[in-house]
Structure 1
Amino acid sequence: MFGGRSFMVNEKMAFSAAKDGGLLVRVPPDRHAALLSVPGARQAEMGAGRDMGPGWIAVGAESIDDDESLSFWFAVAMDFNRAVTGGGL
């Protein structure tokens, strides 16, 4: 799915690990614009010039090359997942 390995939590996609080492992250739409200011974050696209819309951010591999950065994006995705599903984990 989405050209990588997607991780489903509580029956919703939380993030996807891309073949190039980057991530596709599901984020709260109301935090989307602010999260785009994090280094390495960009608007996710479903092909050239086709934005996926608020709530989907692509993060370059070079921006998640340490535990702190990767953990940040993992936490954003999991917090949103819990909010929309009411689930644990």
Structure 2
Amino acid sequence: MKKLVLALAASAMLTSCSVTLPVNATSNAVGKKVGSSSTMSIFGLFFDGGDASILTAAKQGGISKISTVDFKSTNYLFIIGQYETIVSGE
């Protein structure tokens, strides 16, 4: 029984939570190009200096006409947070 409890506790501690949310959509046709930009934080206080802006995501995907913007947030053990902006368009 102790092994089962320890296994469940270990698996709970190693899980992550991820959610992707829509931010914006334009009247531009949905294109095949996709670009992303991201940053990471520890305890919500220390950031890695990344750039999760829409402009950077569009440049990464070679997009000049943005159709949609999504935001993805992933949390590891409530310690490390990763934030990603995803842009699609032409």
TM-score, length-scaled by structure 2: 0.23
Q: Which has the higher contact order (CA 8 A, sep 6+)?
A: 2
More helix by share: 1
More strand by share: 2
